[in-house]
Amino acid sequence: MKKHKILLFLIIIILFALCTYIGIYVYAKITPKLSIDGANGYYLYDSKNELYTGTASEDWISLNKISPNLINATISTEDKNFYKHQGFDFLRIIKAMFINLKSGKKLQGASTITQQYSKNLFLDFDKTWKRKIKEAWLTVRLEAHYDKDEILEGYLNTINYGGIFGIENAAKYYFGKSSNDLSLAEATILAGIPKNPSLYSPLINEKQAKKRQKLILTSMVENNYITLDEAQKAYDTTLTYKAEEEDEENLKMMRYYQDAVMDELEQIDSIPASFLDTGGLKIYTNLDTNIQKILEDSANKNINNSDIQLAGVVMNPQNGKVLALTGGKDYNKSQYNRATKATRQVGSTIKPFLYYSALENGFTASTTFTSEKTTFTFENDKTYTPKNYNDEYPNKPISMAAAIAYSDNVYAVKTHLFLGENNLSNMLKRVGIKSVNNELPSLALGAEEINMMEMMKAYAALANEGYKVKPYFISKVADMQGNVLYEYKPNPENVLNKNTVYVLNELLTTTSAKEFVDYNTPTCYSISPKMTRKYAIKSGTTDTDNLIFGYNKDLLVGLWTGYDDNKAVDSSDSSNIKNTWVDIMEKSLEGKKDTWYKTPNNVVGVAIDPISGEVAKDGNKAKVLYYIKGTEPTNDDYALDDVIPTVKTEE
């Protein structure tokens, strides 16, 4: 009796759900027909307003011109009951729910092709209930107004095949042919990609792509699309991928920029969430294709270690426009964007912000600390012993200018402790680095993981003489009728003193200055023969990372190299990244006016002995360094070591 009641209850629930769905379907039928021609189309333009990528209308291909192999592979794998249901496969949903509840994990999904197409008509893929309800309603409307072939055609023309959208684009990209000409082997490889593009792209992981292909072929056999013999022959076919044979003129890294653009697009509130509201989008970006090519060519020329990875950003520091970017060495092999998503230790590239704070607190280019092997002792007998590169120490007082030129770690830690350990973290927040909360002594040496874009924002404040600007990719977005939906309005915030920034920028030229070749060599001296202009530069090295940031008024370039598995880097990697940086700067600025910062009225230059920081004597080596008027060196200056009581010098 109890079983009969339960069965009756279930029947009532099912009938109620069925009647509800029929009612919704009828209502959807009488609503205006959706216009989906060209929907999900986006068109990206560069800084010269020239189209460089997108889903152009000529790439849309009708269903009758797509290979039956691809169509059958997609239906068999994604939605075998596609031609039988009305948008939702309720039996499949119930089955998936039962399996997932039983296992306690999400082992199966139940989205139909129509549901997946509905998702493709939105800009983002958040999982809120509000969004899911919108998708469900759109699914019903699609089924009410379009036949199955039209829905399938739209789906295949908008689906993501590993950063390539639409089957015609994908067929040309992977195999150099129209989707009409795909063989069974080629079609089943492509049909496997949308499930998880970063896992099943044959260019990224061919082993996983073949496993997915085997599953698809097996499904096609089970659903009577092909024979077992045909499946085996397709699986055994050796495929050649055109994308791996791209000539050197093609930009293999530019798609990292494209991904960054799409990530930024999703954060813009004024853009409608659905492509159906706009008919597609025209996205005007800051990409300079010439500088992007220079970035890629320079990286390919200098960074010849096949395993090491790369992140690079080229930016106009005056307004925050990101002109070029790469998040890796080859997008085909890894789509992870290390420039926008990764955080790594930044090493000595953090020191300019320490020294700006020092200048702001009374230090000058001539302020000295003794640099020698030192152990710093703190409360509870905790100790810290920083080491200079190659364990080299002058064992005498050196100027701040020398400390910057050689990237002296002992001097940096002494400065950090003298100012107070919270001083640097506050300074970083001031220039836009909000992720740092570490106030330990090691912060002075960059033992904190920071994202490349945050570092670019901070360095821009030095390069533009004191203003915090936001790095951005998109200048404007319009709908297909040309109506402007969004336009970026720069909002620079003055956070640094122009006079102090000038002094620091001049100090950062010492890293390549011949006057500092002495007991040590400036960190970037090796690339000085390539320089035809004046640059402020700071490099940094940790056990696992190499970084360099450098700039003048017109251009800011930041680079990182390292290994995804945190394998140790070596000295040749450091040399390679520096050569990459100088090549990018020099070639990007070629033919342009040579500019440097105008000396402020409140700043004076003095010929200084580079190491001691004293006024240069006749016949001695000298370098013009800059000071806020009234802070020039005198004979009364002294080393500040004695005012840091927690220092114990090792014997």
First to last CA, the chain: 92
- 3-state SS, one letter per residue, for 20-40: HHHHHHHHHHHCCCCCCCCCC
Task: Judge contact between 271 and 485, C-beta under 8 A.
Answer: yes
- The residue annotated as part of the active site, out of 76, 348, 399, 425, is 348
Q: How far is CA 92 from CA 67, 97, 108, 109, 472, in A?
A: 27, 8, 9, 9, 44
CA atoms within 13 A on the CB side of 414: 31
What whole-number distance in Å separates Cα of residue 76 and Cα of residue 225?
Answer: 8
Give the number of other Cβ atoms within 10 Å of residue 180's Cβ.
16
What whole-number distance in Å separates Cα of residue 80 and Cα of residue 112?
Answer: 9
The candidate with the shortest Cα–Cα distance to 500, out of 313, 619, 596, 363, is: 363
348 counts as catalytic: yes
- The residue annotated as part of the active site, out of 67, 76, 78, 186, is 78
DSSP H or E segment with residue 261: helix 254-266
CA atoms within 13 A on the CB side of 169: 20
- Considering only CA atoms, give the Rg of the chain: 30
Give the number of other Cβ atoms within 10 Å of residue 396's Cβ.
13
Structure tokens, 300:
């390919």
78 counts as catalytic: yes
Residue type for position 149:
D
The beta strands (E) that lie in 491-644 are given as 493-494, 536-541, 545-551, 556-562, 603-608, 623-628
> How deeply is 423 buried, as exposed, middle or buried, from its count of CB atoms within 10 A (0-12, 13-18, 19+)?
buried
Structure tokens, 374:
């030192």
Give every CB contact of residue 422 below 8 A, 6+ residues apart in sequence.
439
Task: Judge contact between 647 and 384, C-beta under 8 A.
Answer: no
Structure tokens, 25:
């379907």
For the annotated catalytic residues, the residue numbers are 78, 348
